[in-house]
Copies of this chain bind each other. A is one copy, B any other.
């Protein structure tokens, strides 16, 4: 397997399906919302979550394609969360992925609506899939729970609650298990549900979910602004507790390495079919954006 090539193939498949999922019948009065939704969801980001969903299904059943539409629902939820996170009332960010944030282009009101619309469309798209109803319900439950107050939104709330205040170690883990980890675990679980083995990859999913955030914290210190498409040093500026402030840069790197290893080790029962998932964990550990 050529990992880079396989990753690009999967990303291309995601991009094609996102394009399909976000194609609307033109309407002069509503075109602006379609445009605002697409601005933040088309040609955007690394598509890690849907790629993970496909790779998880592939590792367990050999067929990753079936997880693709559901991975796209998850990606819409991810994109909505970024639009709302960037709002002036939240993080007040001007740049995202190297271009102006949604509200900078479409205004604050429309950005709120574009986020709402992507979240809602994630479910419309899910319910339009010709999969068995039991599967749609299982996946819908994973999606909504991971996105809600017990998952991503809960993490966001904790993040706001501790703005400018020191965070204890246990709370930091709880925050990121929810804020970043929940959707990444959900991606893996969705792939596993499609393959008929709902909980088979939970250890992998939990560990790469955490690893992703640890690397985020590291990149905010030593990352390349041009590659990241956003300024670094914002955590320090905002006096945020991160895995780097907690353990130091080397300590954070060690943590990153050990949880990535845990993720990789958990794949041993799945042999060669899990090769891509294995490489993906290493890719995420070493990512520069």
Contacts and interface: CB of A to CB of B under 8 A. Distances in A.
A153 B133 CA distance: 26
3 A-B pairs with the lowest CB-CB distances in the bound complex, closest first: A89-B108, A133-B133, A127-B141
B34 A149 contact: yes
Copies of this chain assembled into the complex:
2
A257 interface: no
B30 A157 contact: yes
Contacts of A27: 154
Contacts of A119: 116, 119-120
B117 A89 contact: no
Interface residues of A, number: 54
B123 A109 contact: no
B116 A161 contact: no
Interface string A199-233: 00000000000000000000000000000000000
A109 B160 contact: yes
Interface of A: 24, 27, 29-30, 32-34, 37, 80, 84, 87, 89-90, 107-113, 115-117, 119-121, 123-124, 126-128, 132-134, 136-137, 140-141, 143-145, 147-149, 153-154, 156-158, 160-162, 171, 174
A113 B153 contact: yes
A161 B133 CA distance: 38
B141 A33 contact: no
Given A116-B115, A120-B119, A144-B120, A30 B136 contact: no
A37 B141 CA distance: 20
Contacts of A133: 132-134, 136-137
